[in-house]
């Protein structure tokens, strides 16, 4: 057999070398892809949990295999000389240019696919780790950055195709896009402010998913922190959406971070009530509040005395651990005790003027 025999402008020896290279690449591709997938997984999760590894590593193996075998094939086939007889023109391009552009297009698509699968693989592993913590902000942060970097990868892939497949000057394109982007940014200023505010919320953490907050006269639980707005389930069971810029610029009362809950009452008593009765009333309320085990501190005193009424101010703080129902029942109990004492000792409440 003459290995120097020419066929389509290439020797038989060249074809054999290329075929052997592809065969070796096909044999070792599984080992190489498993090695890279395991390396990425170990880099993300140093504890290297075997169950998570078995579940998620396979997501990377197939796209890495396809990319490796195609990359080796492209490198090997570039050693071949393109047959002159095939060099026909299609419109303004030669068949060789069309084939090269197609090869580059497929290579870029496979590369971006590997990057996307790697991103998804990383986000899944990080999401599994985030679920092990009580803080739900980690879950939102993983999803947020997963979607963010997906958009970046699509843009990179688009620019690579324009440059290497269609031979476009990316520099001029980026300059044009920056001018257009500036115009779009001015027209979408409010949306960009909300996006920036979402980053502030994620990193500053004034509140997290699950917190009970009060904002703009609405009280409810944070259900989702999005890229543009924060979703709140109010105590009336309605579902409202508040722009992130407002959540950053306005005063947000994070009720979940309170160390204590406050019960406050102002008893307006008739001006005919004597000082002794007022003092006895105040002492009675102090004694009643002291009996309650959930009360951490209390303040009972005569706050005002005037022509229209005297004000007996009651203020006590209870532990946050008690349920909202028990908190309201305690408030009711103190109110009823005050009314019962006033009725028994003939103390009249002030009437509206």
pLDDT by residue (tens digit) across 215-239?
988 889 998 888 788 999 998 889 9
Percent of the chain with pLDDT over 90: 20
The answer to whether 177 touches 212, Cβ cutoff 8 Å, is no
pLDDT of residue 34: 75
Mean pLDDT of 101-121: 88
pLDDT at 302 over 80: yes
Candidate from 77-91, 138-152, 300-314 with smallest mean pLDDT? 77-91
pLDDT, position 45: 63
**What is the reported pLDDT for 294?**
86
What pLDDT shows up at residue 232?
Answer: 92
Query: Of 66-70, 182-186, 307-311, 326-330, which gets the smallest average pLDDT?
Result: 182-186
pLDDT for the residue 284: 93
- CATH classification (class only), 205-256: mainly beta
pLDDT greater than 90 at residue 314: yes
pLDDT score, position 338: 93
pLDDT, mean of residues 116-121: 85
Q: What was the pLDDT predicted at 182?
A: 59
State the pLDDT at residue 177.
63
Per the prediction, the chain carries an average pLDDT of: 81
Q: Residue 184: what pLDDT?
A: 58
**Whether pLDDT at 340 is above 90:** yes
- Cβ atoms within 10 Å of 201's Cβ, excluding its own: 22
Measure the CA–CA gap between 346 and 204, rounded to whole angstroms: 55
Higher pLDDT, 28 or 327: 327
What's the pLDDT at 205? Answer: 83
Query: Which of 49-63, 148-162, 168-182 holds the top average pLDDT?
Result: 148-162
Residue 53 above 60 pLDDT? no
For residue 152, pLDDT over 80 is answered with yes
Mean pLDDT, range 118-133, rounded to an integer: 77
Per-residue confidence (pLDDT) for residue 85, from 0 to 100:
65
- State mean pLDDT over 89-94: 70
Please state, in angstroms and rounded to a whole number, the distance separating the CA atoms of residues 71 and 181: 35
28: confidence class by pLDDT, cuts 50, 70, 90: confident
Confidence of residue 337 (pLDDT cuts 50, 70, 90): very high
Rg of the chain taking only CA atoms, in angstroms? 36
- Give me the mean pLDDT over the 261-290 stretch: 91
- Separation between Cα atoms, residue 284 and residue 278, nearest integer Å: 10
- Residue-level pLDDT at 41: 67
Assigned fold of 258-344: Alpha-Beta Plaits (3.30.70)
Mean pLDDT, rounded, for 333-347: 92
DSSP E strand stretches across 136-294: 212-215, 218-225, 229-234, 239-243, 253-254, 260-269
Q: What gap in Å lies between CA 246 and CA 292, rounded to an integer?
A: 40
Q: Is 71 exposed, middle or buried (0-12, 13-18, 19+ CB in 10 A)?
A: middle
CA dihedral 163, 168, 170, 174 (to 10 degrees): -130
Q: Coil, helix or strand for 239?
A: strand
* Torsion angles phi and psi, residue 213, rounded to 5: -130, 160
pLDDT of residue 332: 93
25-34, 48-57, 212-221, 229-238: segment of lowest average pLDDT: 48-57
Q: How far apart are CA 153 and CA 165, in angstroms?
A: 17
């Amino acid at each position: 057999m003459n290995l120097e025999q020419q066929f389509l402008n290439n020797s038989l020896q060249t074809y054999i070398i290329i075929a052997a290279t592809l065969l070796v690449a096909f044999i070792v591709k599984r080992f190489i892809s498993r090695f890279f997938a395991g390396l990425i997984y170990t880099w993300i999760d140093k504890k290297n949990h075997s169950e998570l590894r078995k579940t998620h590593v396979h997501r990377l193996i197939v796209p890495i295999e396809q990319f490796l075998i195609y990359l080796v094939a492209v490198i090997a086939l570039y050693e071949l000389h393109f047959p002159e007889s095939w060099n026909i023109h299609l419109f303004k391009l030669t068949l060789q240019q069309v084939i090269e552009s197609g090869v580059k297009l497929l290579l870029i698509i496979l590369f971006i696919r590997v990057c996307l699968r790697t991103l998804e693989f990383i986000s899944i592993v990080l999401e599994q780790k985030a679920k092990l913590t009580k803080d739900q902000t980690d879950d939102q942060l993983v999803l947020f950055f997963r979607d963010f970097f997906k958009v970046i990868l699509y843009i990179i892939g688009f620019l690579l195709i324009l440059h290497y497949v269609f031979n476009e000057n990316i520099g001029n394109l980026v300059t044009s896009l920056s001018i257009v982007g500036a115009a779009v940014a001015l027209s979408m200023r409010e949306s960009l402010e909300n996006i920036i505010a979402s980053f502030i919320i994620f990193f500053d953490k004034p509140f997290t998913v699950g917190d009970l907050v009060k904002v703009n006269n609405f009280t409810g639980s944070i259900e989702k922190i999005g890229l543009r707005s924060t979703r709140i389930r109010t105590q009336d069971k309605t579902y409202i959406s508040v722009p992130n810029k407002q959540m950053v610029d306005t005063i947000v009362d994070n009720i979940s971070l309170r160390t204590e809950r406050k019960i406050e009452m102002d008893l307006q008593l008739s001006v005919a009530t004597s000082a002794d009765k007022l003092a006895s009333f105040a002492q009675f309320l102090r004694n009643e509040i002291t009996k309650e085990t959930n009360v951490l501190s209390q303040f009972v005193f005569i706050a005002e005395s005037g022509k229209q009424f005297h004000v007996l101010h009651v203020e006590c703080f209870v532990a946050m651990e008690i349920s909202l129902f028990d908190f309201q029942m305690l408030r009711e109990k103190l109110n009823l005790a005050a009314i019962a004492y006033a009725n028994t000792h003939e103390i009249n409440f002030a009437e509206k003027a």
